Amino acid sequence: MTSIKHKPRTIPITEIEQSAFCRSTSSLKSKTLAEELKAGVRWQTIPAEYRTLESEEVVDRIRESREKLADRIMVLGHHYQRDEVIQFADFRGDSYNLSKYAAETKGLEAVIFCGVHFMAETADILTDSDVSVILPNLMAGCSMADMAKIDDVEECWDELSAIYGSEKLIPITYMNSTAAIKSLCGENEGIVCTSSNATKVFEWAFQRGQRVLFLPDQHLGRNTGLRLGIPSDEMVVWSPFKASGGNSLEQLEKAKVVLWEGHCSVHTRFTVEQVQNARAKHPSVNVIVHPECPQDVLAAADMNGSTELIIKTISEAKPGTEWAVGTEISLVNRLAKEHPDKTVFCLDPVVCPCSTMYRIHPTYLLWVLEALNDGVTVNQISVDQKTRKNALVALERMLNVS
């Protein structure tokens, strides 16, 4: 058995930058791009004439550009986007459903994905090859996806395969991962999952193998395993910075689930103390959180589920009910506005949007739209054919399960 050499621990830049846009007030109103560029994060270079545009002019020019392009393009807005971007979206939803909308719409020349990099990759995989998928700001990545680098995952896969031998190991990757990781799963009899179908996908995997390697979010993987009755001591965390992932051979041989050491920078901000504080201030409150939150937070909450389930639950709740929500603040604020007959607030008292989603400033959307009107495609996201083919296999397996 070969073991991975000890590597220096590195934290993705996207993780370090997560607090850049945190505020102590509930207002997340967009500033001019020039003002927002002062935040200590990476921004994509954009032509100087766009940087000082006031919001009213940006809005007017987006609408004008959008009308000229008509039905040649589609603008997709992820639920976690700021309202100033969502207002221009033809569809809003979670990452996979948005890609499906684009794939099912024929005759498009371009899809502008107001989300993050891995989402645009998925859209490129699912749409026809003659459709250009555009990410308005190339610096809109994902800290969770960045925590699973393909070289590290390949080393992990090779070592675990050697340890388990003929006992089949099934790789599962969460949708929030790079195309390369999805491709690895497709090539090795694995599959993709979302937060809403993770339980079904785990069941599918255990019908075909004895063990699961789950990438890249350890919390969703652990919470799903526990839901299926897998004991905590039969799940181990694999750190790419330590030999054998930081585990002994005995621990790995006992494990049914190997969890990659990754997490969501937004959902790991939520704590049991926040849940307790919400209950103290609102004795009748319902606490609902995303399954990317740590296990102790899920245990303290009343409910947990995907973004779509959170939206559905609050939308269908009785007037007068109170909801403390553990997910991204832009969505929580939008739910509060859309349901004034209910009390809806975020568990975290500090307003912290997803720092990478927040880089899709309306001015970037204007820039790519006006470029299209000038016959220029900027920021096109393209997945190579081999990666696309294998990733599509893993995605289609998920569709068959769902």
By mean pLDDT, which of 27-36, 85-94, 214-223 is the weakest? Answer: 27-36
How large a percentage of the chain has pLDDT more than 90?
A: 86
Asked if pLDDT for residue 218 goes beyond 80, the answer is: yes
Asked if pLDDT for residue 22 goes beyond 80, the answer is: no
Mean pLDDT of 119-130: 95
User: In DSSP terms, which residues pair with 287 in a beta bridge?
Assistant: 324
CA 210 to chain CA mean position, Å: 28
Distances in Å between the alpha carbon of 48 and those of 52, 279, 298? 8, 49, 46
For residue range 69-95, what is the model confidence (pLDDT) as tens digits?
Answer: 999 999 999 999 999 999 999 999 998
Q: Which domains does the chain have, with CATH numbers?
A: 15-141+356-384 (3.40.50.10800), 145-264+386-401 (3.40.50.10800), 267-346 (3.40.50.10800)
pLDDT for the residue 350? 83
pLDDT for the residue 226? 98
Among 80, 78, 4, smallest CA distance to 261 is for 4
pLDDT for the residue 2? 46
pLDDT for the residue 297? 98
Across the chain, mean pLDDT equals 93
Mean pLDDT of 354-365: 92
- Which run of H or of E encompasses 334? helix 329-338
Asked if pLDDT for residue 363 goes beyond 70, the answer is: yes
As a whole number of angstroms, the distance between CA 234 and CA 154 comes to 22
DSSP 192: E
Please name the residue ranges forming H helices in 131-271: 143-146, 150-164, 179-187, 198-206, 218-227, 249-254
pLDDT for the residue 27? 58
Asked if pLDDT for residue 20 goes beyond 70, the answer is: no
Residue scoring higher pLDDT (51 or 21): 51
Residue scoring higher pLDDT (337 or 350): 337
DSSP string, 5-46: PP------HHHHGGGGG-BSSS------HHHHTTSSS-----
As a whole number of angstroms, the distance between CA 35 and CA 273 comes to 34
Asked if pLDDT for residue 18 goes beyond 90, the answer is: no
As a whole number of angstroms, the distance between CA 231 and CA 291 comes to 18
pLDDT for the residue 3? 47
pLDDT for the residue 95? 86
Token pair listed for 211: 């063990």
Asked if pLDDT for residue 398 goes beyond 70, the answer is: yes
* 8 Å CB contact between 289 and 326: yes
On the 0-12 / 13-18 / 19+ scale of CB atoms within 10 A, 32 is middle
For residue range 324-345, what is the model confidence (pLDDT) as tens digits?
Answer: 999 999 999 999 999 999 999 9
Compute the chain's Rg from CA coordinates: 21
CA angle 372, 53, 381 (to 5 degrees): 35
Asked if pLDDT for residue 23 goes beyond 70, the answer is: no
**Angle formed by the axes of helices 179-187 and 385-401, nearest 10°:** 70
Mean pLDDT of 199-209: 97
For residue range 220-260, what is the model confidence (pLDDT) as tens digits?
Answer: 999 999 999 999 999 999 999 999 999 999 999 999 999 99
- Give the three-class secondary structure for 260: strand
Mean pLDDT of 124-136: 96
For residue range 158-196, what is the model confidence (pLDDT) as tens digits?
Answer: 999 999 998 999 999 999 999 999 999 999 999 999 999
Asked if pLDDT for residue 34 goes beyond 90, the answer is: no
**Do the strands 343-346 and 303-304 form a parallel or antiparallel pair, or are they unpaired?**
unpaired
Residue scoring higher pLDDT (224 or 19): 224
Mean pLDDT of 261-270: 95
